[in-house]
Amino acid sequence: MIKKFKIYITPFQISTTIHLYLPQEYQQSHELYPVIYMFDGHNLFSDYDATYGKSLNMEKFLNQYSQKMIVVGIECNHEENRRLIEYCPYYVNHSLLGEIKGEGDQLIKWIVYELKPYIDEHYRTDISRDATMIAGCSMGGLMALYAVSCYNRYFSKAACLSPSIGVGFELLKKDAQDSQMDENTKIFMSWGSDESRNKTGLAYATSRYLELSYLYTNKNVKTYPYLYVHGKHNEESWGQQLQIFMDYLWN
């Protein structure tokens, strides 16, 4: 079951749409459910809502998946380059993207201190850290990595699909090194072999993902770096990884 409702993002003084998935048996049960918070909520469930006409098709997957859970999909800001700004946790001057005065930390704080309490109050959730996950694709994947590093006391799991680690890579590495992280943390990080222009680019991207994985592993955090062969930077490729990252993170 998918519900949509508007919610106000206090630090940005705008409203956005929440795309909420509830298990099919939610109305009949008394169970408390784990929760996944996901970026780009409009791309999760419906091809009609998806930016490029193709969603991750998560509703179909979750309806048959053994672990029942709630998914809170947060729609991005579609105005000009606001998604890039709100989904970047750093101030960076990128060679291709230019100056980005990232507001991602404000968005994560809103999720932790306003959105999560709202969801916990209005729905039957398991509010514990062990039952709380964050996930995203591309810039949303970067945000999920940042959140699980810097707000680890709230998130025990992160699915980071093709995260845009090239945006602020050194700052992301520093956060991975400096953050206090619970050993009971799992991170799934994937990248597609067809996202790079050539073998040299793929080798470079792979080395960066493995470097991050190594930093997390040194903190006794469990990681799953996954190279998706023939994977592209799009929802179709990310949707094909649902079973892989869900099984890893929840089992």
Beta pairing partners, 99: 93
Residues 31-79 have pLDDT tens digits of 999 999 999 999 999 999 999 999 999 999 999 999 999 999 999 999 9
Percent of the chain with pLDDT strictly greater than 70: 100
Q: Is the dihedral of CA 94, 99, 101, 107 positive or negative?
A: negative
Work out the pLDDT band at 194, boundaries 50, 70, 90. very high
Nearest to 154 by CA among 114, 210, 212: 114
What is the structure's pLDDT at 80? 85
Q: What tens digit of pLDDT does each residue of 154-165 get?
A: 999 999 999 999
pLDDT digits (tens, 9 = 90+) for 111-121: 999 999 999 99
Q: Does the CA dihedral 127-186-218-173 come out positive or negative?
A: negative
pLDDT value, residue 82: 93
Across the range 214-221, mean pLDDT stands at 95
pLDDT at 99: 87
Report pLDDT for 109: 98
Residue bearing tokens 């994560």: 108
pLDDT tens readout for residues 75-96: 999 998 899 999 999 998 877 7
Q: What would you report as the CA-atom Rg of the chain, rounded to the nearest whole angstrom?
A: 17
Q: What is the pLDDT of residue 25?
A: 95
Domain edges within the chain: 2-250
Secondary structure (H, E, C), the chain:
CEEEEEEEEHHHCEEEEEEEECCCCCCCCCCCECEEEEECHHHCCCCCCCCCCCCCCHHHHHHHCCCCCEEEEECCCCCCCHHHHHCCCCEEEECCCEEEECCHHHHHHHHHHHHHHHHHHHCCECCCHHHEEEEEECHHHHHHHHHHHHCCCCCCEEEEECCCCCCCHHHHHHHHHHCCCCCCCEEEEEEEHHHCCCHHHHHHHHHHHHHHHHHHHCCCCEEEEEEECCCCCCHHHHHCCHHHHHHHHHC
Structure tokens at 133: 């996950």
- For domain 2-250, which architecture applies? 3-Layer(aba) Sandwich (3.40)
Assess whether pLDDT exceeds 80 at residue 102.
yes
Q: Read off the amino acid at residue 151.
A: Y
pLDDT attached to residue 167: 93
Model pTM greater than 0.85?
A: yes
Closest CA to 117 of 250, 10, 2: 10
pLDDT digits (tens, 9 = 90+) for 13-29: 999 999 999 999 999 99
